[in-house]
Structure 1
């Protein structure tokens, strides 16, 4: 299985260099340090490996040795085993004795990830619309302001972080334990994919970046309307556009 992003990636010894739509090459050589605050050592290692699997730096079929990974990250084997457990739960690796085999993240996997996100976000947005949403909408508008600030500073990681925070806020506001559990089960992979796709969007035109920000404004307006049909239409449009962006990125019509 070929990684969905490996199709447009080039791996150089200095790091993970992503070849973007405009032909430029940007480097994502490690998980953003700010995203690692408060995590256990095992979670940190999982984040780094996850990023390298998503970008294709670690290819499907590659064998990851506990001892080698521990040496790479200056860790004992215990945190590595914790990392492998997390990655196995996400379907990215298959544990084996003293290590694991990389399964990767193929195009079908990403499409299925988008399908699950669509189901979750449709449900939580319709549910939230039945509540008093004043405080939530204020928070979402503040997050969009931070996304725009990140655009001005050309800060890809900060933009992706706030993008994810926007969706986290809506899921949490739904106050639905099972849906929150499902969201958490895909969140780490979603966030890593979001980091990589944000890199691609920032390499395109200013209009492309503004379109992403506007998609979030449309969600706010739909929630404010409390109109179920409008919310469903906006959610459908959001994910149709997101998939179209993915397909353009990998050269698929």
Structure 2
């Protein structure tokens, strides 16, 4: 790997993380120079990173003006939540019939919950929490044993992280409520209560992302 490619990859990862964590919010205009200065690099690898992020839909480039961070599209949160609900409830329905798989999943979820609580105590930030949140929900899907659905769900992960970070920026106190919700969801999985889980996870997701039951925010 060339030094130029390494620098471009580093710039890509850093800027994308800033977008997913909400540090670069939708609608903000940034320049190659700002990022190059921040990273202590030349503009060339930053330009390559910007082109890649534009191709992925995270940025919109304007010559001589800069790069616009593309906001979360109207209705995107609703669509992401609907897709997640279908996949997660399907996975829990599958493991509800498999006590051994259920026990393994519950152990994984409780370990994740411990890390969430430790993060609160240590004063961790929303970006760190959004990673743990995404890992918690992905563990549910992975336990369902359907690799196609798992791959599909992985495609939602980055959007999920960005949405969660935005929700926590709006209301930082939500973190404690989310942890409580995750504990409740874990208990429902442990009990093999797929119907109770479906109801609880729907309410959890819609409340976290401020979505009404009747439609969009």
Q: TM-score, normalized by length of structure 2?
A: 0.71
Deviations, residues 38-70 of structure 1 (Å, cap 9, x unaligned): xx52333322245568623525xxxx77x6577
Structure 1 counterpart of 2:86:
119
The match for 1:227 among 193, 196, 203 is 193
Distance change in 2, residues 1:210/1:53 (3 Å): closer
Distance change in 2, residues 1:88/1:183 (3 Å): farther
Structure 1 counterpart of 2:132:
162
State how far apart, in whole Å, the 2-side matches of 1:50 and 1:84 are: 17
CA deviation after TM superposition for structure 1 residue 82, in Å: 5.2
**Does the residue aligned with 1:214 lie in a helix, a strand or coil?**
helix
Structure 2 counterpart of 1:187:
157
State how far apart, in whole Å, the 2-side matches of 1:80 and 1:127 are: 46
**Quick check: 178-187 or 190-199, which moved more?**
190-199
The match for 2:107 among 138, 153, 175 is 138
- 1:88–1:95 CA contact under 8 A, matched in 2: no
Higher helix share: 2
Are 2:176 and 1:210 aligned? yes
Q: CA RMSD in A?
A: 3.4
Structure 1 segment 1-253 matched on structure 2, within 5 A:
40-41=9-10, 42-51=12-21, 55-56=25-26, 58=28, 68=33, 71-72=36-37, 73=39, 74=41, 77=44, 80-81=47-48, 84-86=51-53, 88-89=55-56, 91-93=57-59, 102-131=69-98, 132-157=101-126, 158-202=128-172, 204=173, 208-244=174-210
- 1:156–1:195 CA contact under 8 A, matched in 2: no
Higher strand share: 1
Aligned residues: 199
- 1:129–1:226 CA contact under 8 A, matched in 2: yes
Deviations, residues 134-157 of structure 1 (Å, cap 9, x unaligned): 122112112112212222222224
State how far apart, in whole Å, the 1-side matches of 2:175 and 2:18 are: 26
State how far apart, in whole Å, the 1-side matches of 2:97 and 2:74 are: 35
Distance change in 2, residues 1:102/1:201 (3 Å): closer
CA deviation after TM superposition for structure 1 residue 78, in Å: 5.4
- 1:147–1:159 CA contact under 8 A, matched in 2: yes
Q: TM-score, normalized by length of structure 1?
A: 0.63
State how far apart, in whole Å, the 1-side matches of 2:61 and 2:196 are: 44
Gaps of 5+ in 1: 1-39
